[in-house]
Amino acid sequence: MKVAIIGGTGRAGTEISAELARRGHQVTAISRHPENAVKVDGVTAVAGDVQQADALVETIKGHDVVVSAVMFSDTDPASLVGVVRDSGVPRYLVVGGAGSLEVAPGVALITTPDFPEVAKVEAGKGADFLDYLRGVDDIDWTFLSPSAYFFVGVRKGSFRLGKDALLVDADGNSSISYADYAIALVDEIEQPRHSKARFTVGY
């Protein structure tokens, strides 16, 4: 498949690019700093900016899937979804956030007392993005939330999937490496199971 990644040189975008290339897909890694793209066969780095919608539409046309791995604070859902819609690309996957996951029925992680103040703006924007997507019915979208601790680490190849509830291990920890997150996202690209839905991944 041909997959375009908006934000292809960030921590998530880099791991997703590498995982896709590992499985033989063609990747277009789009970012403001294409020189930072992962240097592996199958990945083509292209300059692009979410603030330049018309140019971005042209860049992603002809791909089978678009992945957005950009900070929610750097864009807005109407603009980014509009880019995907105008490009004609049939599938859209979003690297989500953990803040909107539930720690109890109706209780989002972002509302808990220990949620870091420094992360609240980005997490709130991520929750707003998901709310917007849930009203979109003309695009086949998927929103994949990581666990609370999203870190650079080893590629274990084993993890659990969930829906809207925060995943925690036996010790009460909630975590996933970028590398294992990338496996879960590429699995979803290859074998879609969460059309027009959010799901989550964690250890």
On whether the pTM is more than 0.95, the answer is: yes
What residue spans of the chain are helical by DSSP H?
A: 11-22, 53-60, 77-87, 120-133, 178-190
CA distance 74 to 51: 8
Residue pair 201/146 in contact (Cβ under 8 Å)? The answer is yes
CA distance 8 to 45: 8
Q: pLDDT tens for the chain, 203 residues: list them.
A: 999 999 999 999 999 999 999 999 999 999 999 999 999 999 999 999 999 999 999 999 999 999 999 999 989 999 999 999 999 999 999 999 999 999 999 999 999 999 999 999 999 999 999 999 999 999 999 999 999 999 999 999 999 999 999 999 999 999 999 999 999 999 999 999 999 999 999 99
CA distance 106 to 171: 23
Is the Cα dihedral 43, 179, 9, 129 positive or negative? positive
